[in-house]
Structure formats: structure tokens, C-alpha cells
Amino acid sequence: MKQIADWALGTAAARGAGYCDIRVVDDRQRAIATKNGVIGQATDAESLGAGIRVIASGAWGFAATDDLRRESVEAAAARAVEIARASARVKHRELALAPEPPARADWHTPCVIDPFGTPVEQNLDVLLHIDRELRSVAGITLAETSMHFRRYEQWFWSSGGADIHQVKTITGAGYAAYSFRDSEISKRSYPNSFGGQYQNRGYELVAELKLVENARRVAEEAVALHNAPQCPECVGTVILDSSQLGLQIHESIGHPIELDRVLGMEANFAGTSFLTLDKLRTLRYGSEIVNVVADATEQHGPGLGTFAYDDEGVPAQCTPIITNGLFTGYLSSRETAAEIGEPRSSGTMRAEGWNRIPLIRMTNVSILPGEDPLSLEDLISSTDDGIFMQTNRSWSIDDKRYNFQFGCEIGWEIRNGRIGRMLKNPSYSGITTEFWNSMDAICSRKEWNLWGTPNCGKGQPQQVMGTGHGAAPARFRNVKIGSAYRGT
């Protein structure tokens, strides 16, 4: 592999590039899914290639090729330089990168059971067992189950001398039960919606998720939703389960702290951010108990945003994002850090694959659990009147990340500290900073879970990336509830 790097780095240098890096990626994925007892998907995929990024004439160029023979790699490097020179025709200043010492490293995701070493029959047995459990409940009209594995091996070299080899193993699994009756399609998912739970782990994750054990309950809830009353439209107290809070963090904290958005680099597609530079260390983002970090280190856990080095060769870091409610940090790259005068990138650049440039992506953007012991049961028992919402169903937020609206699969009335009736179609909406400032309780470590969001889209051409979000159930006051269904 090192020879491939030599071809690319040598060609780029010979053609006048001031900087060059190359990532060679060997990516393997397996996707298995069932639907109502038959195979919905059974696919194995491999992709190998190299992406070469250069700075020439003070501007960026990038070219990627699936052909790793010398002639093709050198042609791709030459094309990257040609592209950079074209970029330089429309620029207003020379590119600068925050300094970064070259690293040499070899890192692998901790993985107990290699998922690709597990027989497909075993994977299918688990999914079909879940499927039978789901469809054993009268009223279930559609049962979907799925499992995904990925092994992402990357070699990174730079003209500055970096030489980094990383192997990530990712496992995901989950299911959903649907019930159609009259004019309603109700749905319950486990352990999370839109594919379940994903982590940087091996097949051991599948066993820990207790998929089969929860299937019947989940299916029964999907059917029971038909007879549940509609979530009222009101202003009141909301308790979010940890998976929904994870997505709330993703959309209303994770994206607006991306420094490329703040600096206008994503304005045409993903949008910008309300977190303009003047708000750093001045904005009260949330209440005193809101503490959020962007942590890519192994110590944070096996999240989809855990790695040793980012795709610019910057080591994984833990950046305080919100500290006792105060906004304290952005996600940055070498280029954007230099642009705002920071001494170093916060190490968040990642690419979807060999054929995409790295972009600023969320690592594990997590809210820290409460320090005082507080279980979900305690939290509910200390709430006189409110709604407990579980599992995301819909999500939407404006392009500066102020106004959001989320729908959940299921809600539960809370009356005098007790869970009451099931509610269908729960939703809530608000303005980001008002919402986070209304948080008055969060459960402690035992209730905290590191969720994986495997489908975060950003960039042009669009890239899909996995991000991690640690969260515990939390309570919010004076929240606008139920307006989503005003559309009927």
C-alpha cells in the first residue's frame, strides 16, 4: 500500500502541489433484512479505491480512482493538481491549515466477535425469530428486521509524513412492526427507529440488544396505538427517552456547531448556523445542567464517531461544546481552525469513503448524564403533569438550526408522578436555545446510552456518515406540544 502513496505524493509534488494526502480505503459491508418472513435484502458489498487531496496554487483539488495500478494513481494525482489550479481561478485568499505534527499509528476498533465471521444462517435465524415474534401479535400487518455489518479499513499518508492505518468494525441491528387499520398506519421500532442501534463493535452488540426479548412488547404497542387518544395540542412538560434526546442533540447541537456551516461553506445545501463566531463563550445555550461534549476518543465508548485519527491525520479529541449551559466549542478542521485563529483542528474531518473528500462531521456529540443519581422512574415520579415521548418518527429543522419539530412513535401521559394512558402521534417543537434552556432534569449514568445515527447526510456530492450521541432521559418545561397534526 505504501507504494501507492509514494506514486500519488510523488506525482503531486512533481506537479507543484504544496500539500498532498492520500487515503486508500478497503470497505466491506453486509446487509440482511427480512420482511414478513421472507428475505428483503441479502447483499454483500466491497469497494476499494484511493482519494487524493492536494493544495496547489493556494486552492484545493481532489481526485479519486477505483484503479490502484500505478498509471491510474499517478493520473488521479495529476488530475487533483489540475483541479486545484482550476479552483485557484476563483479564490480570494491563499489556503492556510492549522499545524499538525505527522502521526504514525495503527488502530483497530475493539471487536470481540467479527461479524463477517458469523454465518449468514445465524444472522437470518435471529431476524426470522424476531419476525415470528412480531407477527404473532394480532393486528401486525408488516414486520421488518435488519442487520448491517461494515469493516472499514483505511490507510492515510500525507506529504507532511503522516502514516496512519485504522480499521473500524461497525454492527447495527433493529426492527419495526407496523399495524394498518382503517385510516391509520401505526409503527413501533426497537431499539431505535430507522435501522435500530449501531456501534463501532462486533457481533457481540446483537446479543446485548435483547432483540427477541422485546419483540412481542413492541408489536403489542404498535397495535395498541390505534386505540390510544391523540396527543393533545398544548404547552407543557415533556420527558424524552434517551434515543429521542440523542437525535435532538444531533439536529439542534451537533449540526450548528460545525464550523464549516458557521463560516458559510455549506450555505447552498445543508445550510448555515445561528452560532456565529460572536456567540462562542458568550451564548447561554442551555440551562446550568446542560453539558455537552464532542468526544471521538475510545474512552467515550464505541460510538460511530469514535476513532484514533480523523481523515486529516488529527488525533481524536474531547471538545467541550456546552459547559454548564455556556456555548464553549465548535467542531473544526485544519482549514477552518486556521480561519478563526484557533491553534489546532478539533479533529472531526471524515469522509464517507475513498471517493469523497473529508468534511467536518459530528464525532460522538453527547450530553453528559446528571451527577446525582436519578433513574427514569425517579424522573417520572417527580413530574406532576407531562408527556413521556419515545422513539423518533419524524424530524425537521430549519437551515440555521433554530426552529425544530420532532414526532415520536409513542407517548405516555404522566399524571401525579405516574405513567398513565398511551398517546398516539406525539410531537413537539420549539426554538433551539429556548428548548435547551428549559431542561430542568437529566437522568444519571445508569440511564445513559451511546446511540448510533448511521444516516447523517451532508456535503455535495452528498455523503452519509455515522455519528454517535450519548444521552439519558431528560425533562423539558413549557414545550409546545402536538402542533404537527394541525396539518390534517
Chain positions 177 to 196 lying near other proteins, rule: CB under 8 A, are 178, 180, 183-185, 187
Q: Which of 244, 191, 175, 224 is nearest to 427 (CA)?
A: 244
Torsion angle of the four alpha carbons 419, 423, 429, 433, in this order, in degrees rounded to the nearest 10: 10
* 269 burial level (CB within 10 Å; 0-12, 13-18, 19+): exposed
φ, ψ at 154 (rounded to 5°): -135, 135
The CA distance from 419 to 413, in Å, is 6
| Count of residues near other proteins by CB under 8 A | 90
List binders of other proteins among 438-467 (CB under 8 A).
460-461
CB of 107 or CB of 194, closer to other proteins: 194
List binders of other proteins among 246-285 (CB under 8 A).
263-269, 271, 274
CB of 266 or CB of 413, closer to other proteins: 266
Q: Rule CB under 8 A: is residue 90 a binding residue for other proteins?
A: yes
CB of 49 or CB of 473, closer to other proteins: 49
Among positions 193, 200, 383, 429, the unique one binding other proteins when judged by CB under 8 A? 429
Q: Which of 64, 65, 56, 50 is nearest to 84 (CA)?
A: 56
DSSP string, 19-64: EEEEEEEEEEEEEEEEETTEEEEEEEEEEEEEEEEEEETTEEEEEE
CB of 65 or CB of 328, closer to other proteins: 65
List binders of other proteins among 56-75 (CB under 8 A).
59-67
Residue 341 DSSP code: T
452: helix, coil or strand? strand
The C-alpha cell at 138 is 394480532
Q: Rule CB under 8 A: is residue 84 a binding residue for other proteins?
A: yes
CB of 201 or CB of 356, closer to other proteins: 356
| Under 8 Å between Cβ of 22 and 156 | yes
* 414 burial level (CB within 10 Å; 0-12, 13-18, 19+): buried
List binders of other proteins among 286-325 (CB under 8 A).
none
List binders of other proteins among 15-54 (CB under 8 A).
32-33, 35-36, 38-49
Q: Rule CB under 8 A: is residue 89 a binding residue for other proteins?
A: yes
Only one of the segments 5-13, 118-126, 156-164, 373-381 lies at the binding site for other proteins (rule: CB under 8 A); that segment is 118-126
List binders of other proteins among 384-423 (CB under 8 A).
393-400, 402-403, 405, 407
Q: Which of 411, 404, 396, 392 is nearest to 436 (CA)?
A: 404
Least Cβ distance, residue 54 to other proteins (angstroms): 10
Least Cβ distance, residue 171 to other proteins (angstroms): 17
Among positions 2, 71, 92, 282, the unique one binding other proteins when judged by CB under 8 A? 92
List binders of other proteins among 121-160 (CB under 8 A).
121, 124, 128, 141-142, 144
